[in-house]
Structures are given as C-alpha cells and as structure tokens.
Amino acid sequence: MVHRRLLQLAGAVPGAILALAGLGVVLSALHVAFAITAGSVIAVLVRGEGDPLPAVAALIGITLVRGALTGAREPVAARFGATVRVRLRRRLLTRLGAVPVAERDSGQATATVVDGVDGLDAYYTRYLPQLLVVLVVPAVVVALVMARSAGAGVVLAIAAGLAILAPRAWDVRLLRTGRHRWDRFTRLSSDYVEALQQIPLLRAFGATGRISARLADDADHLRGFTMAQLRLSLVETFVSGLAMHLGTVLAVVAALSAVLSGDLRAASAVTVLLLVRECFRPVQELGTSWHAGYLGLTAVDGLDQFLSRTPAVVEDGTSSAPARAGSVEVDDVTYHYPGTGRGVSRLSLRVGPGETLAVVGPSGSGKSTLARLLEREVDPGTGQLRLDGVDLRDYTPRARSRSVVVVPQDPTLFAWTVRDNLRLYRPEATDAEVERACAVADVHDVVRALPDGYDTVLAENGEQLSGGQRQRLAIARGLLSQAPVLVLDEVTSALDADTERRVMDAVATASPARTTVIIAHRESACLHADRWIALQDGRTVASGDGPPSLPALTAGGAR
Ligand SMILES: Nc1ncnc2c1ncn2[C@@H]1O[C@H](COP(=O)(O)OP(=O)(O)OP(=O)(O)O)[C@@H](O)[C@H]1O
C-alpha cells in the first residue's frame, strides 16, 4: 500500500527507495541467472556432452555476487532508515513546541516520536522497495517460464496474481483496525506516563492499587485487540501462502506433464522449478515487510496531527546583534490563545533602559501571557513588541535569547549538574560568576550543602530541591545571563516574605542597569519597582509610579 502522506512526511526519499528497489531487482536477476545456468549444467551432465566447468564456475560466481549484494543491502537500508528517522523526528520536535499547553500529552508525544517513527523504518526501507520489486520480477519470471512451458506459465501467472492481490483486500481492513489499536496504544502510554510522574501523589491518596488495576485492565484490552488483529493478519498470510504453495505444486505438475509429453526437456524442467521459486520469493518478502512496517503505518494519524501544527514562532529574523540598552516597547499588542478570546488585548507599555516595572493584577489577567510574548513563545496577533527599537521578530533566536531572559514561576531544571543548569544561558560563565549569582539569589548555601556541591547531578527537574530552592536557582540562572532585559514571572511565589524581600533586594542591587519586569502578586516582590501597571482581563486598568500599593495588587485601583 502506497501511502501518499507518508511519502510526503519523509521528504525527498524516492532516490533511496529506488536504489533499494534496484538492488532487489538485481538480486532477483541473479537468482534467475542461477536458475538458467543450473539448468544448463544439468543438461550438460545428463547428455554427457560438453564441458560443465564454465557453467559451474558461473554458478559459483553468481552465488558469491549474490551473497555480497545481500550483505550490502542491509547497511544501505539501515543508513537510509536512520536518515528518515532523524529527519522525521527533527520535524516532529520542532512542531511539539507548537502544541498548546492545554493539549500537551507526554505519553502520546513519546509514543509517536519513538514507537511511531521506529515503526515506519521498515515501511520505507523494506516494504516500499519490495513493492517495486514485486511489480517487475514476477511478471518477468512468468514470461521466462511461459517461454519454456506455456501450461506452467499460465498456472504461475494465476497463482502469482492471487498471492499478490488477495492480501491487499485485507490490508485496508488491517490498516483501519490498526489505527484504532494505535489510538489505544497512545492512550495507554499517556496513562502510564502520567501515573509514573504522579506516583508520590497517588500513594498519598492511597490510589496506587486502583490506578494499577485500571492500567492492567487497559493493557489487557489492548492485548485482546492486538491478538484479534494478528488473527486477521494470519488469514491474509494463509491466503497468500496457499496461493504460493498451490501455484508451485500446479506449475511443477504442468512442467512434468510437458516433460512426459515430450514438449519440455528434463533439464529445462529443473530451470522451471527454480524459476517458480524465484517468482514467489519476492512476494513472500513483500508480505513479511508489510507486517514489519505496518505499526508505523498505523501511527500516521498521530504523526500527521503533530506535523500539521504550525510552529508558534514561524519566522526568525536576521538581526544578529543582541539588544544592548534594554528598552522595551509593547505597542497595542493583542494576543488570544487559539480558539479562545483570552490572553491580552490592545496592551501598550514602555520600560526604559535600567527601569524596573511591576506588572500586577488578579489571576488570569494576562501577566504570564506578557512574559510569553516577550520571550516569543507566542507572537502577537496584532501590534508590535520592540527591544531597543527593533521588532522582537527581527532578532535571530540567539540574539533574542541574549537580549531578554524570562524566569518563570515553575522553572525547568535538567538532570544535569547544578553548575551546568546555571550556565544554560551562558556556558562560558566562570565558577566565580556562577557562585556570585547563587549568592545574590540566596541559594549558594543550599547548593554547597548538596553531596557534590555545584557538581551534584540533579534529579529530573531538580526534584530533590524544594519549590523555593528551584525558584532561587532559576533566578541565579537568569542573573547569570547578560541579557539587558530580565523578566521575573512570579519567581518568588514559593518563598516566605522575608526570603523574598532579601532576594529581591539583592537582585536590585546586583543588576541596577538591567531593565527588569517583575510580575507579582505580593507587595514584597515589587519594592524596587520604579513604576507599576495593573492588568485585568488582558488590559491595563491602572498604572502609577513607585512600587504598587495593596489595592493595585488585588484589583487594580486606578490612580
Ligand atoms: N495555554 C493557554 N491556552 C488557553 N488559554 C490560556 C492559556 N494560558 C492562559 N490562558 C488564558 O489566558 C488568560 C491570561 O492567562 P495568564 O496566564 O496570562 O494569566 P496570569 O495573569 O499570568 O494568571 P496567574 O496570576 O494565575 O498566573 C487567562 O484567562 C487564561 O485562562
């Protein structure tokens, strides 16, 4: 089955498929040459005339070349398979970032990127090339047999036709049910990933037994569904196997009758026998490679779902010099999350170089959306964001990441050493700089107390640290960058008021020249603000000079 979408997904691969198919055809030609040469050796031996040695030498030569080509086919297929997998995964990974947060599903993503892409390997490297071989070889072999024995040729043509075409009727059905199986498989993967991530929580709620029973139940359903599919596929294998076996037997009977009636020499009958085998060999391989590539085929919907997403950041600019002064202008910006009317609407603000702006407002008022816009996780629908007068979209990704750094409320830490985590934005930062940033963020003593200090390898997302410690590490990481604009999005929400005040004092003292946007809920986080704005429903509803007062933080009391 040629799946147009799968061919498009793999990109420009026809060359490699044709090369593998060509290799398959050459191998078949060698098998045919072997059959014909073997017939002539037998004819010489039976008649006792002539020298059989040249033909025997040819047989040995053919066998050697065939062995070498068979050996060469595997590395070619493996290299081609790896290219397709890398290409597909790269495209999938760029699109994964475009999946709205609300729709992110790690289990489904893992199943598609790992199992789906792996499953496709056999489709591209085995099934498609073999399909081309089957379009050519059996027809040629039937013609060769027909030239020796018309009866055997006709029988072979009918049997080969049946063996090739009959399974195709099952393929469509198998693919349809296979897609259901893939849906169930990805759902089960999602449930497993979620349960694994939440084991401590499930244990705390005493729900582990219930969840594992449900997962076992779902796995059992998937097994039942897979077995039903296997049975369906066995019927297909049985039908094509029957056609091949009956075809072989009947073609042999037809050839022997021709020998008995004197229409065919015994030596030619041997050639016919070997040719019949070569007629069915590619068909049999086609069946095997169909089943090997079938899992990937069933993943096509999942792949398509990811690949049809338009990355949130569509184009990158060419301005490779990072901003230096750090002036921020948000000019009449509207961004609504896809399918919602929520986000920010007609938002305008200015932050001068070295200025600190506090952004406050109730939950859901659009504060984090402003941060996402500033780090280009999303682009405005209308309006413009400028850094030092340059549209944010005009910066190259590298220049942008060196111009503005956003520290989120719930930062991501990698399972790397603490030092490497801190150097994320500036790999060249010295040990002294790393430690100074940690001292400012009030986390130096915490790191020193870890088993290997700054060389301690963190658990996934720094799970051995408290929420507040993770936030302080992320602040240190942001401080370590030399970006002239720093956005702190509720980065002290997990700290007590005293620690929060200490950290914010130190941050203000450590980078007085840096433009800082502080998104916060509490007064203690904004004490160093030069100005403030209050958002509500994605719009500015109040603003003022100095740090915001309590009413502004809660509701946006206009000045
Ligand atoms: N990924 C998303 N998909 C759809 N809607 C979203 C998404 N993220 C946020 N929203 C909506 O956009 C609006 C603004 O959200 P935003 O996260 O910017 O608010 P916030 O002021 O930062 O809230 P909080 O103080 O609770 O963090 C809210 O109505 C929210 O429900």
Closest atom of ligand 1 relative to the 365 alpha carbon: 21
Q: Which residue has the tokens 């301690």?
A: 456
54 within 8 A of 90, measured Cβ to Cβ = no
367-402 residue pLDDT tens: 999 999 998 888 899 999 999 999 999 999 889 989
Q: How many CB atoms lie within 10 A of CB 456?
A: 16
Q: How far is CA 165 from CA 239, 425, 437, in A?
A: 10, 59, 70
310 CB under 6 A from ligand 1? no
User: Atom 19 (ligand 1): residue with closest C-alpha?
Assistant: 364
271 and 39 Cβ atoms separated by less than 8 Å: yes
**Ligand 1 site-directed mutation target among 365, 519, 537, most atoms within 8 Å of CB:** 365
How many alpha carbons fall within 13 Å on the CB side of residue 145? 33
Place of tokens 């009958």: 269
Ligand 1 atom 16, closest CA: 366
Identify the helix (H) or strand (E) that includes residue 350. Answer: strand 343-351
* 556 Cβ closer than 6 Å to some ligand 1 atom: no
Ligand 1: residue whose CA is nearest its atom 3: 337
Q: Where are the alpha helices (DSSP H) in 198-265?
A: 199-204, 208-260
Q: What is the pLDDT of residue 102?
A: 61
Beta bridge partners of 406: 487
Please report the pLDDT score of residue 554 as a whole number. Answer: 62
In whole angstroms, what is the distance from residue 440 CA to residue 442 CA? 5
For ligand 1, atom 29, which residue shows the shortest CA distance?
364
Please check whether residue 3 is in contact with residue 300, taking contact to mean a CB–CB distance below 8 angstroms: yes
Sort 2 into a burial class: Cβ within 10 Å, 0-12 / 13-18 / 19+: exposed
Say which DSSP state 456 is in.
P
pTM for this structure? 0.64
Ligand 1 atom having least distance to the Cα of 100: 1
Q: Using alpha carbons only, give the angle 48, 54, 58 rounded to the nearest 5 degrees.
A: 125
* 302 within ligand 1 shell (Cβ under 6 A): no
Atom of ligand 1 nearest to the CA of 372: 18
Strand-pair category, 539-545 with 531-536: antiparallel
Closest CA to 390 of 464, 308, 331: 331
Closest atom of ligand 1 to CA, residue 538: 14
For ligand 1, atom 9, the nearest C-alpha belongs to 343
Q: How far apart are CA 480 and CA 523, in angstroms?
A: 25
Distance from Cα 541 to the centre of ligand 1, integer Å: 17
* 102 CA: nearest ligand 1 atom: 1
Give me 326's structure tokens: 């750090």
DSSP 287-333: HHHHHHHHHHHHTHHHHHHHHTSPPSS-----B-SPPSS--EEEEEE
d(CA 533, CA 541): 8
Instruction: Provide CB contacts within 8 A for 470, sequence distance 6+.
Output: 411, 413, 461, 462, 494
Tell me how far the alpha carbon of residue 492 lies from the centroid of ligand 1, in angstroms.
Answer: 19
pLDDT at 168: 78
CA of 308 relative to ligand 1 center, distance in Å: 25
Burial of 301 (0-12, 13-18, 19+ CB in 10 A): middle
Alpha-carbon span 183 to 186, nearest angstrom: 5
Atom of ligand 1 nearest to the CA of 409: 27
- Side by side, the strands of the sheet bearing 485-489 are 404-407, 485-489, 515-519, 356-360, 531-536, 539-545
Confidence (pLDDT) at 559:
41
Of 367, 377, 519, 539, the residue with max ligand 1 atoms within 8 A of its CB, to mutate for a pocket test, comes to: 367
Nearest CA to ligand 1 atom 1: 101
What is the position in ligand 1's atom list of the atom closest to the CA of 369?
18
Q: Is 343 in the pocket of ligand 1 (CB under 6 A)?
A: yes
Nearest in space to 541 (alpha carbons), one of 527, 526, 555, 525: 555
Cα 169 to averaged position of ligand 1 atoms, centre (Å): 50
Query: How many Å apart are CA 383 and CA 335, to the nearest integer?
Result: 9
Ligand 1 mean position, distance from CA 537 (Å): 10
Helix axes 266-298, 208-260, angle to 10 degrees: 160
Q: Whose CA is nearest to atom 12 of ligand 1?
A: 343
In 3-state terms, the chain is what percent helix, strand and coil (to 5)?
A: 65, 10, 25
* C-alpha to C-alpha distances, 227 to 59, 181, 233, 315, 325, nearest whole angstrom: 45, 11, 10, 47, 65
What is the spatial distance between Cα 247 and Cα 245, in angstroms, rounded to a whole number?
5
Residue 366 Cα: closest atom of ligand 1: 18
Q: Is the CB of 548 under 6 A from ligand 1?
A: no
Task: Report how far ligand 1's centroid is from the alpha carbon of 99 (Å).
Answer: 16
Q: What is the ipTM of this complex?
A: 0.97
Q: Does residue 540 line the site of ligand 1, with CB under 6 A? A: no
Ligand 1 pocket, 363 CB below 6 A?
Answer: yes
Kindly tell me the sign of the dihedral angle through the C-alpha atoms of 149, 150, 151, 157.
positive
Counting ligand 1 atoms within 8 A of each CB, the residue from 336, 337, 370 with the most, and so the one to mutate, is 337
Residue 322, token pair as written in the block:
């990072």
Q: What is the layout of strands, in order, in the sheet containing 390-391?
A: 343-351, 328-336, 382-387, 390-391
CA–centroid distance, 343 to ligand 1, in Å, is 6
Compute, in angstroms, the gap from residue 527 CA to the centroid of ligand 1. 25
Look at residue 558 in the predicted model and tell me its pLDDT: 40
- What is the Cα–Cα distance from 298 to 286, expressed in whole angstroms? 18
- How far, in Å, is the centroid of ligand 1 from the Cα of 375? 16
SS3 514: coil
Query: Is there an atom of ligand 1 within 6 Å of 364 CB?
Result: yes
Assess contact for 506 and 385: CB atoms under 8 A. Answer: no
Q: Which helix (H) or strand (E) holds 89?
A: helix 53-96
Q: Which segments in the chain show pLDDT lower than 50? A: 313, 556-559
Q: Which residues lie across from 544 on neighbouring strands?
A: 532
For 459, which DSSP code?
P
Among protein residues, the one whose CA lies closest to atom 30 of ligand 1? 364
- CA-atom Rg of the chain in angstroms: 34
Residue 310 tokens, joined: 């338009």
